[in-house]
Amino acid sequence: MPSSPAAAPPVHGRYEQVTIDELGTPLADVTFVVVDLETTGGSPKDSAITEIGAVKVRGGVVLGEFQTLVDPGREIPPYISVLTGITSMMVAAAPRIGAVLPGFLEFARGAVLVAHNAPFDLGFLKAACAENGIPWPAAASVDTAVLARRLLSRDEVPNCKLATLAPYFSAATSPTHRALDDARATVDVLHGLFERLGPLGITSLEELTGLTRQVDPERLRKRHLADDVPRGPGVYLFRGPKDEPLYVGTSTDLRSRVRSYFSSSEQRSRITEMVALAQRVDAIPCAHDLEAAVRELRLIAEHKPRYNRRSRFPERALWIRLTDEAFPRLSVVRRVRPGAGVFLGPFPDRRAADAAVAAVHEALPLRQCTTRLSPRVPTSACVLFGMGRCGAPCTGAQSVTEYASIADVFRAAVDHDPHGLVAPLLARVERLATEERFEDAAVLRDRIAVLVRAVRRRQRLESLAAVPELVLARADGSGGWHLSVVRRGRLVAAGGAPTGTSVRRTLPGLLATAETPVGPDDELAATVDETELILRWMEKPGTRLVDLTGVLACPAPGTGAFSSFLDLVEAGRAERDPFADDRSLGTRARPERVAAGAGVRARPPIGSPA
């Protein structure tokens, strides 16, 4: 059959390969709704929203704002009113959250939600929706706190709190703990962070949301560092390019813990930087968890690794000293010198030490001047004498014996009985509360708590320091025993008695290898942190005292009578700080796959006019 004339080929559209940038949603085209909440507390379970503020932006341009007070249906705690400026009277006529949510969700419809510490704000909104039967939209979200931790280094900002980032990015609005102001400040922070994304090739929403979930390939390539790490309890030590210790840690399963540093589960900023520098991991197997914890403390104190924070400088602990002179006074010192007076501590920082000193001065009219006084050479009195806060021994108005009776109250408190020192202070707290001077009462109460904790700590340490030797045993969970030998508060040997092995037959070999502490027999032979680790291990349920040389006893009456007071203070502290968040807001000195943007500041937000 003859063929027909060839028909003209059909015309198709032109095919072109799209660029990588076109595969995602360009950030310039994304609508963001930056939201911030004020609430009556820190958890949706027992708190409610008092204000919502939100700003809608796209391409660097503000499209609209949303702000409303919300009646939480309960009284706003006074400390929240002080923090936010929002009082119960202000929200009395405001709508309830059920009436506010539809308007907010309509305002945010189709947008990506942005918040600083998004789990807090979005958690409250989701809980409110669930409580009112309103479905929560499936919207993407961005957490500017997490984004900042990925993009900023520790050299640029000390932390990633909004109050720190806002001035760093020259935000037009300062955070004030009011919802709309904080949302406006977060918008400027978001745009400041966007400046860091362009040089990194991150231009789409998909790349932005994936930024916080990725694992640096360089980190993955270092997984071989964990190949030779054994299982079981012990201490691990990361070493850097010059074989210097970078980080010391402890675990009950060394291999599993070290391997976790090379996965996405490890997100701490300083650890990310440390892993990038690490060249080797040393593992030190230990007999049990107490030995591992003690070895960790000693290694940190010896090497002071730059990426360890806890106990890097035990020598910086502070003590309160009652000086050894005719008219003793209190001073804050860093060293304990035997025979140089009475020492109370240690305190973790100067603020705690000063609080304890202030509490003592509230109870006892000890002199506060720093000059050395002589009973034979009187001088003029200071203003504290006129205020009734000092007996003016400098003028001769108070003899050495009379002044010594006052100082003895402090000595007795430190040694065995703090009642004479603490009871007048507690009575003063009650009197201040009766007079409705609640802030003054709270300040004094907290000072008393610091003082009582210090006395308790000192007495516990002294009780263990006085024991020449004791042997402790704890069940290992498999029918055997973990053994610890302690001399004057120092762990000198650690071992175990496996299932079917007699503890008594194991002890001679363990004691033969135990170290002998040097120094006076009545002094603590270890750091305070080490002795406290031993005390906590010893006081755990199930720990048994196998052998004892000397006497193990706490002074009577001690601080036992004040245990309920300390429990109340601790419970009150949690209520006064409802927004306490243990999540790290640190920065990354070498963020994962985010290094090219370092130092870039003067670029406009993505999508905004040049």
- Listed in order, strand segments (DSSP E) in 534-578 are 544-549
User: What is the 8-class DSSP label of residue 33?
Assistant: E
What lies within 8 Å, CB to CB, of 529 at 6+ separation is: 297, 311, 314
Amino acid letter, residue 522? D
8 Å CB contact between 367 and 326: no
Q: How far is CA 26 from CA 31, 61, 113, in A?
A: 10, 15, 16
90 φ/ψ angles, rounded to the nearest 5 degrees: -65, -35
Q: If we measure between CA atoms, which residue out of 39, 51, 41, 47 comes closest to residue 576?
A: 41
What lies within 8 Å, CB to CB, of 125 at 6+ separation is: 35, 37, 49, 101, 104, 136
Query: H-type helices in 416-484, by residue range?
Result: 419-434, 438-465
Q: Which of 177, 288, 361, 482 is catalytic?
A: 177
Burial class (CB in 10 A: 0-12, 13-18, 19+), 149: buried
416 is catalytic: no
- How many residues are listed for the chain in this entry? 610
Spatial distance between the Cα atoms of 135 and 131, rounded to a whole number of angstroms = 10
Spatial distance between the Cα atoms of 454 and 459, rounded to a whole number of angstroms = 9
605 φ/ψ angles, rounded to the nearest 5 degrees: -60, 150
What tokens appear for 111 in the block? 């947008």
Q: If we measure between CA atoms, which residue out of 232, 241, 248 comes closest to residue 282?
A: 248
Spatial distance between the Cα atoms of 569 and 451, rounded to a whole number of angstroms = 13
SS3 content of the chain, % helix, strand, coil (to 5): 40, 15, 45
Q: How far is CA 552 from CA 453, 457, 462, in A?
A: 20, 15, 10
User: What is the 8-class DSSP label of residue 587?
Assistant: -
Q: Which residue has the tokens 């243990």?
A: 582
- Cα 351 versus chain centre, distance: 16
Q: Angle at CA 250, nearest 5°, toward 246 and 254? A: 100
Q: Which pairing describes strands 141-143 and 112-115: parallel, antiparallel, or unpaired?
A: parallel
3-class DSSP string for 465-491: HCCCEEEEEEECCCCCEEEEEEECCEE
**Residues forming the active site:** 177
